[in-house]
Amino acid sequence: MKYKLLGRSGLKVSELCLGTMGFGTEGGWGADKETSFKIMERFANAGGNFFDTANIYKLGTSEKFIGEFLNNHDRDYFVLATKYSLMDNKTNPNASGNNRKNMMRSVEESLKRLQTDFIDILYLHIWDALTPIDEVLQGMNDLIRQGKILYAAISDTPAWIVSRGNTIAELMGWNQFVALQVEYSLLQRTPERDLIPMAKHFNMTVTPWAPLAGGALTGKYLRGEKGRIKEESNRLNENSQRITKEVIAVAKKLEVEPSHIALKWTMQQPLSVIPIVGATKEEQLQQNLKTIDVTIPEEDMQHLNKISAIDLGFPGKFFQEEAVQMNTFGGFYDKVEKR
């Protein structure tokens, strides 16, 4: 396992992140405690040190399992990311949302479940369109000064909100967001319209959730296997099936699994990307770990980019027009090094 710097920080994290949303059996699915421990152990033995969880995952069971696991291991070896924002009870109007009160309350509860004195990375989980972004950043910086969290990050939030937040942080001398978590895969490339360019500009690492599109990109649904994706999901529509078949074809050509191609495609993007690989079975993780030894040739990357391309809309598509590039760069577009 190789390691990458997380965003503009000096924090070193593994090139794959272990997603733990399925640790616990609440809701009728997931991994029990014994299996969850085996998955974490196998990930650590492979060199993985980056765990992703949230206060609400399996009603807190995910954090509890991780806390017990870390109690029997070297806590400082692991980089632990959790999230706040989503409700953990319905009796308190401030037990959800991005507000400072919920942030402080949620972090204290997460620390108890995780049995640790600090959280390495705290994500805002989902934007609530109510809380000022400066309230969020000031709260996170207070937690950083208190030593309860080390880095600030954000998930599932519009690009202009994140941009405004990082700009305010820079002006105020606060810590900026180091990572951006969004849905991103060969079946979900719409973040390329604004979120991905924004992350690249601010040197934020992108940590995609559902990089396998809920398992659709493994090809198992095309084989008639069942899973948690509903039949009416866009991940199984005609266009998604077309893309998945192309992924399978590239995988056969390179003699690897479709999941390896789907994951490595995110990792070979022209910015820092660390996919979150979830697992509820040891064999799932073991299969995903093989991705680190795969390299997709440039011609196959170009092919995958082409067959999964989306309409960038305005202004992204407008910028790509030949006449626009000629007028903007005077014929030197291909001769200028891009950042």
Instruction: Assess whether 193 and 333 both reside in one domain.
Output: no
Task: Taking residues 217-229, report their average pLDDT.
Answer: 93
Domain around 14: 3-308
Number of domains present in the structure of the chain: 2
What is the rounded average pLDDT of the residues 103-132?
98
Quote the pLDDT of residue 6: 98
Asked whether residue 187 falls in the same domain as residue 330, the answer is no
Q: Are residues 92 and 18 in the same domain?
A: yes
pLDDT at 247: 98
Of 3, 57, 151, 184, which is the active-site residue?
57
Encode the chain in three state secondary structure: CCEEECCCCCCEEECCEEECCCECCHHHCCECHHHHHHHHHHHHHCCCCEEECCCCHHHHHHHHHHHHHHHCCCHHHCEEEEEECCCCCCCCCCCCCCCHHHHHHHHHHHHHHHCCCCEEEEEECCCCCCCCHHHHHHHHHHHHHHCCEEEEEEECCCHHHHHHHHHHHHHHCCCCEEEEECECECCECHHHHCHHHHHHHCCCEECCECCCHHHHHHCCCCCCCCCCCCCCCHHHCHHHHHHHHHHHHHHHHHCCCHHHHHHHHHHCCCCCECCEEECCCHHHHHHHHHHHHCCCCHHHHHHHHHHCCCCCCCCHHHHCCHHHHHHHHCCCHHHCCCC
Span 133-163, pLDDT tens digits: 999 999 999 999 999 999 999 999 999 999 9
Q: What is the pLDDT of residue 226?
A: 86
**Residue 338 pLDDT greater than 80, yes or no:** no
Q: Has residue 250 got a pLDDT over 80?
A: yes
Q: pLDDT tens digit string along 102-113? A: 999 999 999 999
84 in catalytic set: no
Higher-confidence position of 332 and 58: 58
Average pLDDT over the chain, rounded to whole? Answer: 96
Give the pLDDT mean for 273-293: 97
Q: What was the pLDDT predicted at 307?
A: 98
Domain shared by 280 and 322, yes or no: no
Same domain, residue pair 69 and 128? yes
Are residue 28 and residue 75 in the same domain, yes or no? yes
Q: Would you state the pLDDT for residue 334?
A: 84
| pLDDT score, position 228 | 87
Same domain flag for 124 and 140 = yes
Does 33 lie in the same domain as 103?
yes
User: Looking at the structure, do residues 288 and 266 belong to the same domain, yes or no?
Assistant: yes
pLDDT at 233 over 90: yes
pLDDT of residue 189: 98
Instruction: Tell me what pLDDT residue 337 has.
Output: 80
Instruction: Evaluate if residue 59 carries a pLDDT over 90.
Output: yes
Q: Does residue 49 surpass a pLDDT of 90? A: yes
Same domain, 291 and 326: no
Q: Taking residues 308-323, report their average pLDDT.
A: 94
Q: Name which residue leads in pLDDT, 339 or 299.
A: 299
Mean pLDDT throughout 321-338? 87
pLDDT above 70: percentage of residues in the chain? 100
In a shared domain, residues 92 and 214: yes
| CATH code of the domain in which 42 resides | 3.20.20.100
Q: What is the pTM of this model?
A: 0.95
pLDDT band at 331 (very low <50, low <70, confident <90, very high): confident
Summarised one tens digit per residue, pLDDT across range 68-80 is 999 999 999 999 9
Q: Are residues 254 and 219 in the same domain?
A: yes
